[in-house]
Structure 1
Amino acid sequence: MTVDTTGWDTAQRRAFGELTAKTWLDAELRQRYEREPLVVLAEFDIRLAEGSVAPVLPPEPGDELVIEILDGNEAPPPPPCLLSLCFCLQYSPGRDPR
């Protein structure tokens, strides 16, 4: 499933990727998004133009999702993207991951 992010800047696309990943791990967040998507999008600094419809969240990837904790200052390059939604989150120990 491809999400239409036409007109979004890079920061908004990354924030939506983060939101998507978090909804895959947090059912309550997914339910909140389904009830009040504009409020949840605003929490991730995504504000849509008036009259715009919030995008539908992509379905959970099932067993296709791999989460790796990367250690060190340099992350290896991401694998080739084979899906329509592909993103990497980098975590640095001692930093707030949000």
Structure 2
Amino acid sequence: MTVDTIGWDTAQRRAFGELTAKAWFDAGLRLRYEREPRSVLAEYDIRLADGACPPVLPPEPRGELEVELLTGTEAPPPPPCMLSLCFCLAVQ
């Protein structure tokens, strides 16, 4: 099951993207998600419909991964991407 097929809204998809990116850097979070996905999803304000199976976290990307901390009130526009996966994480 993928995020596209379980009816999540934009906020839930973004939250799952944040969870995915953090799990790539934190093996403990990935293991917790594998053991108790509903609990971890709830931490990101994601609720599954009754009977819905939690999606599997995507594997870490192969190749180069760059993480930038953006500060200030206005973030620069993202660079043009070809064949890359970009996540924006808000630090609060």
What does 1:13-32 align with in structure 2 at a 5 Å threshold? 13-32=13-32
Which structure 1 residue ranges, 5 or more long, are not aligned? 91-96
- Calculate percent identity across the aligned residue pairs: 72
Q: Which amino acid aligns with 1:8?
A: W
1:68 Cα deviation from its structure 2 partner: 1.1
Distance 2:53 2:72 in 1: 40
Distance 1:4 1:51 in 2: 15
Partner of residue 37, structure 1: 37
What root-mean-square deviation, in Å, do the aligned CA atoms of Structure 1 and Structure 2 show? 2.0
Q: Tell me if structure 2 keeps the 8 A contact 1:22–1:29.
A: yes
Normalised to the residue count of structure 1, the TM-score between the two structures is 0.78
Normalised to the residue count of structure 2, the TM-score between the two structures is 0.82
User: In the superposition, relative to structure 1, how do residues 41 and 83 fare at CA in structure 2: closer, same or farther (>3 Å)?
Assistant: farther
Runs of 4+ displaced beyond 3 Å: 80-86
User: In the superposition, relative to structure 1, how do residues 46 and 81 fare at CA in structure 2: closer, same or farther (>3 Å)?
Assistant: farther
